[in-house]
Amino acid sequence: MKTHTRVLVIGGGVVGCSVLYHLTKLGWSDVTLIERSDLTSGSTWHAAGGFHTLNGDTNMAALQGYTIRLYKELEAITGMSCGLHHVGGITLADTQERFDMLRAERAKHRYMGLDTAILTPAEVEAMTDGLVNTAGVIGALYDPLDGHLDPSGTTHAYAKAAKMGGAEIILHNRVLSTTQRADGGWDVQTEKGLIVAEHVVNAGGLWAREVGAMAGVYLPLLPMAHQYLVTDDVAEVIGRAKEFPHVIDPGGESYLRQEGRGFCIGFYEKPCEGWSIDGTPWGFGHELLNEQFDKIADSVEFAYKRFPVLERVGVKRVIHGPFTFAPDGNPLIGPVPGLRNYWSACAVMAGFSQGGGMGLALAQWMIHGEVERDPRGFDVARFGNWTTPGYTVPKVIENYQTRFSVAYPNEEKPAARPFRTTPMYDTFTAMRAVWGQQYGLEVPNYYALPGEPVYETPTFRRSNAWGATAAEVAAVRGGVGINEVQNFGKYRVTGVKARAWLDRMMAGLIPQPGRLSLTPMLAESGKIIGDFTVSCLSETEFQLTASYGAQGWHMRWFDQHAEHGARVENISDARSGFQIAGPKARELLARCTRSDVSAQAFRFMDVKRLTVGMANCIAQRVSYTADLGYEIYCDHMSVRHLWDTLWAAGQDLGLRPFGMRAMMSLRLDKFFGSWGREYSPDYTPLETGLDRFIRWNKPADWIGKAAASAEKAAGAKRRLSAFVVDANGADVVAWEPIWLDGEVVGYCTSGGYSHHTGQSVAMGFVPTARAVDGLQVEIEILGERRPARLVSTPLFDADGARMRG
């Protein structure tokens, strides 16, 4: 056994073997995998082996497509069979809401290059020889790439391909401890001796929690006990000319496929259970759990109605085993925040749909420093230090129970909530706040009107939040609104080299004392990894604000680029406050402070230290509402006093709280982009318009400068644009295709309704050459192409007089 290696992958399931193979594929040959037992021990060996591309996250769907296409490549490389069966997959819709979801997914596939199709019930019957009872079925989605494979053969194909690339695999050798070295590497003590590794990858599967704990890391995942049945021979299957397609029946919580001469059917039942909640025994491996027919009894009864042939055949065997979930069901991939050279490759519950893509993504991250596709949906950093086992367990159970449920764009799932709240939670609840959640924090979405329910109905169309949101928008545009700024990520940068460090980290201007600036933060590739407001409080103290949900992502980046003389603190939960916005915002602030806040003394993009009431505050004149506005920050302990001061002073001004639904409507009036929608690691400054905030000629060699400059010289092929849409009760959410001259030429990044102007608005990418004012396009919303017109002049305050005045 070697004693030194560049990368040590811990875990020999399909994900660990995929990571190993992709590291060799991208050029690292000094890589080693260590496994406590045999390859496929854990959850891989008893997996049903199905694969599919359907995923609400387009980047995940694309990586699943990569995974599926990779299998033939593995077979060609190794000469081994993956046992591929490309039989196609049918997902049934038995409600209008589910059919809406499938039509929305089909629309996304148009620009992703996926050849899916919407089927009628009659077409479903024809494709399944009538073995699917389509009573109650409205339609279905067909994907020709869906299928199944041999889990063991596929895992061994990954392993052989990796060994052909120079990798070493060591079996029957459990890891006992992992200890960080002063040089950033790791001492990994195993049963057979010590291995020194430059990088460690935790692909521990069922044991990922235990492996993580050795490094002092809590990984939020939980194994769930999952059960599927294999039937005796089915005459109708034996007589088919070709293999039976996969059929997913979300209404019945089941999936069905052919297995030999019979069927395999599995269930995501509501009375599910977590397995080994407090830790996976090291001795567990090739065992199965005891059969539990009682928990799937209702699902089986429903399945007999949907697939009547099942009632006539016996059950040959029952497979009941554990596999791991993260709280949101997506994998936990990437560099673990707070550690050097420690990588997570865990919670890939759909290993044969996602394992290849996750292996590729992690290998790219390790070798190139970033991922080709936006990784935020599977980045381990999306869960912060606030995540606990007490949070993970109910969220994982909820995710398992709703795996086949309709995923609505406005849905707020209730498990493990409320958990993290601000001092304003009780006050806002009493004001009928309807709560959303971001990075574990409760955030008001809107405030229900009298007589309306204090919850939002999940829907693909306009919801019952419509009237309340309109009223909140009107309050801001006509008077003054107030909104808590707790849900901004906030960072304090101090030290004698603070300015120099920021000049290297940020592509834009670093402002002078008393001023603020807007700037993108870029990766070396020139792609956007942050959208920041930088406020200069002094030459040695700056405040940064950005997306609250990106804290883990951003702090990890700051730590990776740390320099002596510049200290970065995450103060997102230590510093809070409120934004006030609207034509009466200045008058409200003036009533609460003795400082001069006149237009001449407090200009647009100024930042000042003020005493508001009795609270020492940092106030800056900027607003995401596109109106006259201020952000007022204070110590967390002063938040209630600051609220009381502003609230009392604003009653005769019509002061009204507003939530995130109103905020998203207000920003559309000015075509302001949003982090995670218009601005993300999938995009560059030039194509999104953020290039206007880049200080191209500043002396600092800022990260991403070479790539961004090259793109500037070449020009962007696509351009982010705004559209007014002739909507029909449903507004753009994201990813809807944009049609021009009978072809899909782009897609939407976000959208909604501008309550102030009474128009439906969308933002999205179209070819730069066609991005001209007045361009007529069609945007496909829930399967219907709606006319839309490109507009370049903002719908509100076009000249900026109100915002800047």
Q: In whole numbers, what is the pLDDT of the chain averaged over residues?
A: 96
Which pLDDT does position 490 carry in this prediction?
A: 98
Q: Which CATH number covers residue 584?
A: 3.30.1360.120
219 with 314, same domain: the answer is yes
pTM of the model: 0.96
Considering the domain architecture, whether residues 513 and 393 belong to the same structural domain is answered as no
Considering the domain architecture, whether residues 629 and 535 belong to the same structural domain is answered as yes
Q: Directed axis angle between helix 14-25 and helix 151-164, to 10°?
A: 30
User: Is residue 739 in some structural domain?
Assistant: no
The answer to whether residues 141 and 54 touch, using CB atoms and an 8 Å cutoff, is yes
Please determine, for residue 115, whether its predicted confidence score (pLDDT) is greater than 90: no
Over residues 330-357, the pLDDT tens digits come to 999 999 999 999 999 999 999 999 999 9
Residues 182, 280: one domain? yes
Decide: 221 and 324 in contact? Cβ < 8 Å. yes
Q: Which domain holds residue 398?
A: 1-86+146-244+271-404
Residue 550 lies in a domain: yes
Task: Answer yes or no: do 43 and 163 share one domain.
Answer: yes
In a domain, 331, yes or no: yes
Q: How many CA atoms lie within 13 A of 522 on its CB side?
A: 28
User: What span, in angstroms and rounded, lies between the C-alpha atoms of 579 and 589?
Assistant: 10
**205-262 residue pLDDT tens:** 999 999 999 999 999 999 999 999 999 999 999 988 899 999 999 999 999 999 999 9
250 part of a folded domain: no
| 298 and 175 fall within a common domain | yes
Within-domain flag for 396: yes
State residue 71's pLDDT score: 95
In terms of domains, do 215 and 340 share one?
yes
Of 599, 632, 665, the position where a domain reaches its end is 665
User: Quick one: 505 and 387 in the same domain?
Assistant: no
Alpha carbons 404 and 412: distance in angstroms, whole number: 16
What pLDDT digit, counting tens, does each position of 736-773 carry?
999 999 999 999 999 999 999 999 999 999 999 999 99
Give how many domains the chain has, as a whole number.
Answer: 2
Domain boundary pick from 665, 682, 713:
665
> Which pLDDT tens digit goes with each residue over 72-104?
999 999 999 999 998 999 999 999 999 999 999
Query: CA-to-CA distance for 548 and 573, rounded, in angstroms?
Result: 10
List the Cα angle 745/746/752 in 5-degree steps.
140
Let me know if residue 71 belongs to a domain: yes
* 630-678 residue pLDDT tens: 999 999 999 999 999 999 999 999 999 999 999 999 999 999 999 999 9
User: For residue 324, what is the domain's CATH number?
Assistant: 3.50.50.60
699-750 pLDDT, tens digit per residue, is 999 999 999 999 999 999 999 999 999 999 999 999 999 999 999 999 999 9
Domain identity same for 328 and 185: yes
Contact status, residue 568 vs residue 558, Cβ threshold 8 Å: yes
- Whether residues 388 and 518 share a domain: the answer is no
Q: Quick check: is 236 in a domain?
A: yes
Looking at the structure, tell me whether residues 44 and 180 fall in a common domain: yes
Q: Is residue 693 part of a domain?
A: no
Average pLDDT over residues 144-172: 96
Q: What are 142's strand-pairing partners?
A: 90, 117
Give the list of residues 6+ apart from residue 273 with CB closer than 8 angstroms, or none: 224, 225, 295, 397
Domain termination residue (choose one: 665, 680, 711): 665
